[in-house]
Amino acid sequence: MKSKIILALLAVTLVGTASAQVKPEDAIKWRQSGYGFMAWNMARIKASVEGTYNKDEVIKAANAIQMVATSGMGALYLPGTDKGTGWEKTRAKPEIWTEKEKIGKAAMNLTKEANEMVTVAAAGDAAATKVQLGKLGSTCKGCHDDFKSKL
């Protein structure tokens, strides 16, 4: 497990180096966009489990969340982007750049639950989707609690 985390962090570091020419304000805007796009897709699943269940809609949303979660957004946390403005002022806490093992685990949790959401969505059961949405949402919240400043 530990070696996997180290490998994941190494991958993030290498991609980060390759993207060194990215402007800080773009990196911040792009990562805010990724989370904003995930928020829409979480809301689509929520609407389906609270209202009329739409299997195709849930599948599309689950695939979208998985794709964002595995897109390599770690590369957008360039050195120096703990401050700055994209769509809005970044709320990234400095701990993102210091607590690497903890954030590596948070990223892996998100990926695990996003992958599971894709599996659950394909089965098309509303109750199971609701349970999995809760698990997935708790990985978002956990990371926000630790690494995102309150407004």
Give the interface with a second copy as residue ranges (CB under 8 A). Answer: 15, 18-19, 21-22, 26, 29-30, 32-37, 39-41, 43-44, 47, 51-52, 54, 57, 60-61, 63-64, 67-68, 70-72, 76, 87-88
C-alpha–C-alpha distance, residues 114 and 79, integer Å: 27
CB atoms inside a 10 Å sphere around CB 9: 16
Contact between 90 and 35 under an 8 Å Cβ cutoff? The reply is no
Least CB distance to a second copy at residue 15 (A): 7
Stated as kind and residue range, the H or E segment containing 49 is: helix 24-50
Least CB distance to a second copy at residue 65 (A): 10
Least CB distance to a second copy at residue 85 (A): 11
Q: Determine what percent of the chain falls in helix, strand and coil, rounding each to the nearest 5.
A: 75, 5, 25
Report the residue number, 50 or 101, with the smaller CB distance to a second copy. Answer: 50
Report the residue number, 13 or 98, with the smaller CB distance to a second copy. Answer: 13
